[in-house]
């Protein structure tokens, strides 16, 4: 301990290597250097092994002809298509089943979660049985059940079961009429976009009106009227038309229409049923996290059961529901890769499977596939984090 001329005592300065700040910086530099060295070693070792096996690297294979068939594609596909087109087809198939699964799993999950808290004994017990059974059976086994035991057990093509609206179901999938819009139908899509924007504006206006005056506005019914009205008006004014091509049974198969393969139906249904069970528990936990006094206060104001749930309970529960709900959305998107087990042509099956086996470019195919799932996860997290910021409670 040293003393200044003013009489103030100053603590002795620590040794350079004993300074915790300096040590922390040194440790970080050492760890970063070791990590960089490890990455360079992996790259060099991989390059040496590939050279020893006379294998080349690069992404030039993406512009080569694929030469294989894909059973289900949202885009035109043939054996003459390129590998980059196979990547796009697999990506679109993954996005399609993920979007459908997220949409229906959210609706079903919220319904089951609220039903489990119902005062009706039968409803709550049925919801409990559904959750406990579905959550404790592996998803892959459920996919096998829906694919092999349900859809593949359907009758043959010649004995197809006829459904309403010229639809059929058999071992090869579900056949429904194919909509064929004309060139003017693009204006209808613009009208739908305008209607959706009008609904958002209406909801914000109704919320501000409620906060300012306490008067409710029938947002739900008005939103439906806006969507339907603007869409129908645009459809009539533009002169657009939609023709439907029904499936026609021929000698060995159906011709025309739109075919939904059993692999797609089994994967979409399995992901929806499985993820909805976890979402239901998340919803139940979020509702139970709301203080009981909030429900009592809503009752004292004379709000009905549905209004209490919609206006008071669920909005406050969302701050608890959204973070784990994000994880379920991410899991559903990544679990779509299990479609490869039942032959659904999603990204892993088409690109990290068939394309990899034919080209031998394992590093490139796996790296691109991993990057896609990483980007999808980051985008989903960013959207849900934004929404979480919108619904969080702002403390005064």
Instruction: Please check whether residues 10 and 135 belong to one and the same domain.
Output: no
Instruction: Please check whether residues 42 and 100 belong to one and the same domain.
Output: no
pLDDT in the model for residue 137: 93
The total number of structural domains in the chain stands at 2
Domain span holding position 31 = 2-52
Q: Is residue 101 part of a domain?
A: yes
Question: CA distances (Å), 27 to each of 20, 23, 32, 38, 244, in order?
Answer: 10, 6, 9, 16, 68
pLDDT in the model for residue 1: 53
Instruction: Please check whether residues 150 and 282 belong to one and the same domain.
Output: yes
H or E element, residue 169: strand 167-170
pLDDT at 80 over 50: yes
Write out pLDDT tens, residues 300-310: 777 777 777 77
Q: Is residue 396 part of a domain?
A: no
Q: Is residue 231 part of a domain?
A: no
pLDDT in the model for residue 72: 87
* Range name among 4-18, 101-115, 202-216, 259-273 with the lowest pLDDT average: 4-18
Q: Is residue 186 part of a domain?
A: no
pLDDT at 97 over 50: yes
pLDDT in the model for residue 268: 93
CATH number for the domain spanning 338: value is: 1.10.3720.10
pLDDT in the model for residue 215: 74
Alpha carbons within 13 angstroms on the beta-carbon side of residue 150 total 15
Alpha carbons within 13 angstroms on the beta-carbon side of residue 235 total 11
What rounded mean pLDDT belongs to the chain?
Answer: 85
Give the contacts of 105 (CB within 8 A, at least 6 positions apart). Answer: 271, 272, 275, 276, 279, 328, 332
Instruction: Please check whether residues 46 and 92 belong to one and the same domain.
Output: no
**pTM given for the model:** 0.80
Instruction: Please check whether residues 15 and 155 belong to one and the same domain.
Output: no
pLDDT in the model for residue 393: 60
Pair 152, 146: CB distance under 8 Å: no
Instruction: Please check whether residues 29 and 122 belong to one and the same domain.
Output: no
Q: What pLDDT band is residue 396 in, cutting at 50, 70 and 90?
A: very low
Q: Of 393, 394, 390, 387, give the one whose Cα is nearest residue 325.
A: 387
pLDDT in the model for residue 394: 54
Instruction: Please check whether residues 284 and 332 belong to one and the same domain.
Output: yes
Write out pLDDT tens, residues 50-68: 777 777 777 888 899 988 8
Instruction: Please check whether residues 283 and 378 belong to one and the same domain.
Output: yes
pLDDT in the model for residue 157: 84
DSSP 344-367: ---HHHIIIIIIHHHH--HHHHHH
Q: Is residue 219 part of a domain?
A: no
pLDDT at 9 over 70: no
Q: Is residue 253 part of a domain?
A: no
Tell which of 52, 70, 92 closes a domain. Answer: 52
């Amino acid at each position: 301990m040293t003393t200044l001329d003013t009489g103030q005592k100053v603590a002795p300065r620590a040794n350079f290597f004993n300074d915790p700040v300096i040590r922390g910086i040194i440790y970080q530099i050492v760890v970063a250097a070791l990590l960089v060295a490890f990455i360079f070693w992996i790259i060099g070792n991989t390059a040496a092994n590939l050279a020893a096996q006379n294998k080349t690297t690069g992404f030039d294979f993406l512009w080569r002809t694929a030469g294989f068939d894909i059973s289900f594609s949202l885009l035109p596909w043939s054996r003459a298509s390129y590998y980059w087109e196979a990547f796009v087809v697999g990506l679109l198939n993954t996005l399609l089943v993920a979007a459908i699964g997220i949409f229906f799993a959210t609706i079903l999950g919220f319904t089951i979660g609220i039903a489990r808290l119902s005062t009706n004994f039968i409803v709550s017990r049925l919801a409990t049985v559904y959750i406990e059974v579905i959550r404790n059976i592996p998803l892959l086994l459920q996919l096998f059940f829906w694919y092999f035991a349900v859809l593949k057990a359907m009758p043959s093509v010649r004995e197809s079961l006829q459904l309403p609206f010229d639809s059929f179901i058999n071992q090869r999938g579900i056949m429904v009429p194919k909509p064929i819009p004309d060139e003017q139908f693009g204006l209808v899509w613009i009208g739908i976009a305008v209607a959706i924007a009008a609904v958002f504006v209406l909801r914000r206006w109704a919320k501000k009106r409620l906060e300012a005056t306490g008067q409710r506005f029938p947002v739900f019914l008005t939103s439906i009227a806006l969507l339907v009205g603007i869409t129908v008006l645009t459809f009539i004014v533009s002169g657009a038309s939609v023709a439907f091509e029904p499936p026609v049974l021929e000698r060995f198969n159906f011709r025309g229409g739109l075919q939904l393969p059993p692999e797609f139906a089994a994967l979409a249904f399995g992901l929806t049923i499985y993820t909805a069970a976890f979402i239901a528990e998340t919803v139940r936990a979020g509702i139970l996290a709301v203080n009981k006094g909030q429900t009592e206060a809503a009752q004292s104001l004379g709000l009905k059961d549905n209004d209490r749930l919609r206006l008071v309970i669920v909005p406050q529960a969302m701050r608890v529901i959204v973070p784990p709900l994000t994880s379920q959305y991410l899991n559903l998107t990544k679990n779509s890769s299990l479609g490869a087990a039942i032959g659904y042509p999603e990204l892993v099956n088409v690109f990290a499977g068939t394309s990899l086996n034919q080209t031998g470019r394992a590093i490139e195919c796996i790296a691109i596939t991993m990057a896609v799932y990483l980007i999808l996860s980051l985008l989903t997290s960013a959207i849900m984090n934004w929404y979480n910021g919108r619904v969080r409670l702002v403390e005064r």
